C-alpha cells in the first residue's frame, strides 16, 4: 500500500487502515470526526479520509516541528510544494536544515520544511538523533536522496491540500485533547510514542507518569469510541489488562526485512472489533 503521508514515521500505523475501517463500520462510527492525538505522520487518518471512510480528521501533535510541518502543508501548500521541487537532497542541504531545525528560531514554514527534509533524508526518518542516509561520507549503498522523490512527495502534498477543508489541526497536550474529544461525536485513534525506545525514536517521548496518566484518562471515560496501539511490553499490559481488551497484532514486512513486529491493539471491551487479517496487519 502506497503511503498517504509525506512523512516517514517510526512505528507508523498506515498498515492498520483496513482494521480501523472495519472497527468504524462494525460500530457505526463512520460518520464521526476521526482524531489522532499523537498524529506524527498521520498515515492512518489520511488513508481513511482519502478512502472516504471518515468525513473529517483532526490531527494533533505537541512537537513544534511536526506541528509546523502539518500547518505548512495545510496553510502554505503551494509554497511548500515549490520548496520541495527546488530543494535537492544533498549533504550541504542536510547540514543546513539540521542547523535550522536545532535552532528552531525561524518562521513556521521554515521549521516545517526543515523538519520534513530531515525526516525524508535521515536514517529511518528519525529527525532529532538520526544521521543522513549514507552517512556523512556518503559511503553507504543508499545516499541522502534515497527517500526524497520530489515528484512523488509533491503529489502527496497536493492530495492533502485537496482535502484541507476536512482536516483540522492543533498543538495540544494529548491527554487534554483526548479528555475533551471522548465527550464529543468523535472516534479517537491513539498511537502514543513507544513505551520502550521512545527516547531513541521520537521528538516528544513520554515518561512513565504520562503513560499512566493516559491510561487513567481512558479508564475513567465511559466512551467506547477509541482504539489505542502500543509496543508489546509488560508495563503496558499492567496498565490496561483487566478493564480493556488487549490484543496482539503482527505487522507484516517484505521478505527483505528479516523481522516481524508484534504490538498491542487495545480497545474498550464494549467496542466491536471484527476478526481482521489484512495485507498490512493481523489481529489475534
Dump pLDDT digits (tens) for 42-77: 999 999 999 999 999 999 999 999 999 999 999 999
CATH of span 1-62+172-284: 3.40.50.150
- Taking all residues of the chain, what is their mean pLDDT, rounded to a whole number? 90
Say what the pLDDT of residue 79 is: 98
C-alpha separations of 72 from 4, 45, 172 in Å: 17, 18, 17
- E strands, the chain, in order: 33-36, 57-60, 167-170, 186-190, 226-231, 244-251, 261-268, 281-283
Within a 10 A sphere around the Cβ of 199, how many other Cβ atoms? 13
| Domain extents in the chain | 1-62+172-284, 70-165
Q: Are strands 33-36 and 186-190 parallel, antiparallel or unpaired?
A: parallel
| Torsion angle in degrees (nearest 10) through CA of 116, 14, 225, 172 | -10
The pLDDT of residue 38 is above 90: yes
Quick check: 123 and 131 in contact, CB under 8 A?
A: yes
Quote the pLDDT of residue 283: 53
Q: Is the pLDDT of residue 196 over 70?
A: yes
On the CB side of 1, CA atoms within 13 Å amount to 22
d(CA 73, CA 140): 31
Going by pLDDT thresholds of 50, 70 and 90, the confidence category of residue 107 is very high
Residues 6+ apart with CB under 8 A from 115: 65, 66, 68, 69, 101, 127
Give, to the nearest 10 degrees, the angle between helix 77-86 and helix 108-121: 50
Q: Can you spell out the DSSP letters for 225-248?
A: -EEEEEE--HHHHHHHBTTEEEEE
Check whether 129 has a pLDDT greater than 90. Answer: no
Q: Where does the pLDDT of residue 267 fall: very low under 50, low under 70, confident under 90, or very high at 90 and above? A: very high
Q: What is the pLDDT of residue 136?
A: 92
In tens, the pLDDT along 205-258 reads 688 999 999 999 999 999 999 999 999 999 999 999 999 999 998 765 433 344
Percent of the chain with pLDDT strictly greater than 90: 77
d(CA 88, CA 92): 10
pLDDT attached to residue 223:
96
Q: Where does the pLDDT of residue 140 fall: very low under 50, low under 70, confident under 90, or very high at 90 and above?
A: confident
Dihedral over alpha carbons 161, 1, 200, 109 (to 10 degrees): -10
Query: φ and ψ at 246, to 5 degrees?
Result: -115, 115
Query: How would you class 284 by CB atoms within 10 Å of its CB: exposed for 0-12, middle for 13-18, buried for 19 or more?
Result: exposed
pLDDT per residue as tens digits for the range 171-188:
999 999 999 999 899 999
Amino acid at each position: 500500500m502506497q503511503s498517504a503521508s509525506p512523512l516517514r514515521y517510526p512505528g507508523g500505523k498506515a498498515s492498520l487502515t483496513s482494521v480501523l475501517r472495519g472497527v468504524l463500520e462494525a460500530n457505526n462510527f463512520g460518520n464521526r470526526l476521526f482524531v489522532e492525538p499523537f498524529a506524527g505522520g498521520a498515515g492512518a487518518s489520511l488513508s481513511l479520509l482519502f478512502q472516504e471512510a471518515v468525513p473529517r480528521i483532526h490531527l494533533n501533535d505537541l512537537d513544534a516541528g511536526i506541528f509546523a510541518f502539518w500547518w505548512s502543508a495545510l496553510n502554505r501548500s503551494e509554497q511548500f510544494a515549490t520548496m520541495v521541487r527546488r530543494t535537492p537532497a544533498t549533504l550541504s542541504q542536510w547540514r543546513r536544515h539540521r542547523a535550522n531545525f536545532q535552532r528552531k528560531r525561524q518562521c513556521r514554514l521554515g521549521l516545517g520544511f526543515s523538519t520534513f527534509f530531515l525526516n525524508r533524508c535521515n536514517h529511518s526518518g528519525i529527525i532529532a538523533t538520526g544521521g543522513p542516509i549514507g552517512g556523512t561520507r556518503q559511503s553507504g549503498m543508499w545516499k541522502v536522496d534515497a527517500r526524497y522523490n520530489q515528484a512523488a512527495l509533491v503529489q502527496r502534498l497536493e492530495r492533502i491540500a485537496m482535502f484541507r477543508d476536512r482536516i483540522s489541526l492543533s498543538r495540544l497536550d494529548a491527554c487534554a485533547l483526548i479528555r475533551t474529544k471522548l465527550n464529543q461525536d468523535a472516534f479517537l485513534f491513539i498511537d502514543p510514542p513507544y513505551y520502550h525506545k521512545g527516547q531513541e525514536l521520537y521528538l516528544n517521548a513520554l515518561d512513565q507518569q504520562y503513560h499512566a496518566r493516559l491510561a487513567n484518562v481512558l479508564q475513567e471515560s465511559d466512551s467506547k469510541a477509541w482504539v489505542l496501539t502500543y509496543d508489546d511490553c509488560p508495563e503496558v499490559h499492567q496498565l490496561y489488562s483487566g478493564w480493556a481488551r488487549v490484543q496482539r497484532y503482527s505487522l507484516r514486512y517484505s521478505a527483505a526485512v528479516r523481522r516481524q513486529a508484534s504490538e498491542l491493539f487495545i480497545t474498550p471491551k464494549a467496542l466491536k472489533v471484527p476478526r481482521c487479517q489484512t495485507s498490512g496487519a493481523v489481529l489475534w
